[in-house]
Amino acid sequence: TQLLEQSPQFLSIQEGENLTVYCNSSSVFSSLQWYRQEPGEGPVLLVTVVTGGEVKKLKRLTFQFGDARKDSSLHITAAQPGDTGLYLCAGAKGNTGKLIFGQGTTLQVKP
Amino acid sequence: DTAVSQTPKYLVTQMGNDKSIKCEQNLGHDTMYWYKQDSKKFLKIMFSYNNKELIINETVPNRFSPKSPDKAHLNLHINSLELGDSAVYFCASSQEEISGNTIYFGEGSWLTVV
């Protein structure tokens, strides 16, 4: 049973388009993180959200934590080829640092 | 300097062999982890250590034995390798083993069992 459902799993868009990636669960998380992973490398943290309803922005990326802390979204405005990569959401339960990862969203942005 | 470094990066070995992957972090962190990423890119925690003490062991077969000689190192030894062990293994570290901490991943070790 997948605790964190990420959708879509694959996304191929043109440069300049907007997109949203969703991360859903029936469980409550104390914090949720988004990572980006490029081929041949390890995941790199983009953002951590901890408060229900929290919105964080990182340049063209907007992250939102659901009010009930069960879901999250990542919105990219005017995607660029440099945004291409694997995006992973990961939640932590309780006060532990143990992360539960979603299946990932592979994003391809074509020039 | 690489924050979390692991070796080897690529490893091809035969079934039944025993192999080790080494990991070192120079961030001064107290907690280190091993994660496994399968062919579908699904990333799952295997172990975590805090100050050389085992904190998390996620029902990993006992053929996998982590060893932490000091808090800057966490090595992974795998006995009697099986085809299903083929995956990318990521070492990682964080300041503490608490929710919301930033986890720094190494570049991964690509293990192929033939």
Tens digits of residue pLDDT in A66-85: 999 999 999 999 999 999 99
Q: Which two tokens stand for residue A48?
A: 């951590």
Residues with Cβ within 8 Å of residue B111, at least 6 apart in sequence: B11, B13, B19, B21, B78, B81, B85, B86, B87, B88, B89
pLDDT, position B51: 86
Residue type, B75: N
Chains A & B: contacts with CB separation below 8 Å:
67
Out of A43, A86, A96, whose CB is closest to B99? A96
pLDDT, position B98: 77
Q: Choosing among B99, B101, B105, which should be mutated to test the A contact, i.e. which has the most A CBs within 10 A? A: B99
pLDDT, position B96: 80
Out of B4, B41, B103, whose CB is closest to A99? B103
pLDDT, position A79: 97
pLDDT band at A3 (very low <50, low <70, confident <90, very high): confident
**Residue of B46, B68, B55, B104 lying closest to A94 (CA atoms):** B55
CB A36 within 8 A of CB A21: no
